[in-house]
Amino acid sequence: MFRNWVIVVSAAAFLGCTPNQRILNSANERPPEPSSINSTGTVQPAKIEDDIAAMQTADFNFVYVFRRTDGGEIDADDRAFMSANIPYEINRKKISDSGRALVIGSNFRLPAENFKALRERFAFEDYSKPESEIMPSNNTANK
């Protein structure tokens, strides 16, 4: 009798310690962002206007959009060029407009040489705050 009881308790403890398969399966599913679901429940790509607005809502001083001059999708070569010319201080980058634009949000100005290289290769749009609203950096505040 005691042996049967030990087997039942051991089995219950073992079954109670196994992972929930439903939870494991749901980890592999990535639900679409709520902003990309329309009223009929179908998924739509995020609009570039939404991505620009999100950067502005995040209160970035500088919001830039770079596009290929031919209007095509940003490819691997474009990404490599962008990575080489966008410093790590840039806070946020997002590919938008079905892969045809890169939206950048930052509180740091792009260095002039990087900015020039990017503008020579890509079409550029500036959605930054007006100069009068941009706070001076810390290194000039103490002078």
Question: 4-40, pLDDT tens digit by residue?
Answer: 666 666 666 666 665 555 555 555 554 444 445 556 6
Question: What mean pLDDT is reported for the chain?
Answer: 80
Mean pLDDT of the region 131-137:
76
pLDDT-based confidence at residue 60 (cuts at 50, 70, 90): very high
Share of residues in the chain with pLDDT > 90 (%): 54
* Whole-structure pTM value: 0.64
What's the pLDDT score for residue 40? 65
The reported pLDDT for the residue numbered 63 is 95
Q: Which of 3-7, 63-67, 77-81, 112-116 has the lowest mean pLDDT?
A: 3-7
| CB within 8 Å of 7: residues ≥ 6 apart | none
Radius of gyration of the chain (CA): 25
Q: In what order do the strands lie in the sheet with 92-96?
A: 92-96, 101-106, 62-68, 122-126
Q: What is the mean pLDDT of residues 107-116?
A: 93
Which domains are delineated in the chain? 48-129 (3.30.70)
Q: Which residues contact 24 (CB under 8 A, 6 or more apart)?
A: none
* E strand map for the chain: 62-68, 92-96, 101-106, 122-126
Residue 139's SS3 state is helix
Q: Give the rounded distance of the alpha carbon of 2 from its chain centre.
A: 59
